[in-house]
Amino acid sequence: MRRTSFNDAICPIARTSDLIGDGWSPLIMREACSGTRRFEDFQSNLSIPRATLTTRLDGLVEAGLLRRERYQDQSSREHYRLTQQGREFYSVLAAMWRFGSDWLFDGDLQVELTDRETGEPVQPVVVDAHTGRPIDVRKIAVAVVPGRR
């Protein structure tokens, strides 16, 4: 069955959904953001079928979130690195992390994000870049505006 594409939608949520479109892609990006580079390590960490991983990695490279690089030993083997776009995708994962932590666990064992320097827990929150205030759905309206690029 073919998926509906939202690549031309004027909604950023629709386009982002089109980009990550399945359960594996955010998990692959989570692994990449955690430092995973090699195909075998993605496969082992996620217990994902090889064919599925190949397809998802190809899609993430095509979308510009990851790039392939040859190993330094000049072999034909490649590993995967985050692009700038991929690094910026981490804020999406952090928002998903926060929602999941707040709403989808009921006393279960879970993991937390911590600051690498201080070891303190990190509580991601989405804020307005102009004001620094947390986004509140009750105070947000959607407007269609001309493109800025």
- Segment 51-65, tens digit of pLDDT: 999 999 999 999 999
Cβ–Cβ under 8 Å, residues 124 and 94: yes
Reported as a single tens digit per residue, the pLDDT across 83-118 is 999 999 999 999 998 888 888 877 777 788 999 999
pTM of the model: 0.83
Going by pLDDT thresholds of 50, 70 and 90, the confidence category of residue 66 is: very high
Among residues 74, 80, 78, the alpha carbon closest in space to that of 32 is found at 80
Residue with tokens 């994962």: 93
Backbone angles phi, psi at 70, to 5 degrees: -70, 145
User: What DSSP designation does 138 have?
Assistant: G
Residue 5 — left, alpha, or beta (φ > 0 → left; ψ -120 to 50 → alpha)? Answer: beta
Domain boundaries, the chain: 12-139
d(CA 113, CA 135): 21
Instruction: Give yes or no for residue 12 having a pLDDT over 70.
Output: yes
The string of pLDDT tens digits covering residues 34-54 is: 999 999 999 999 999 999 999
Write down the CATH number for the domain with range 12-139.
1.10.10.10
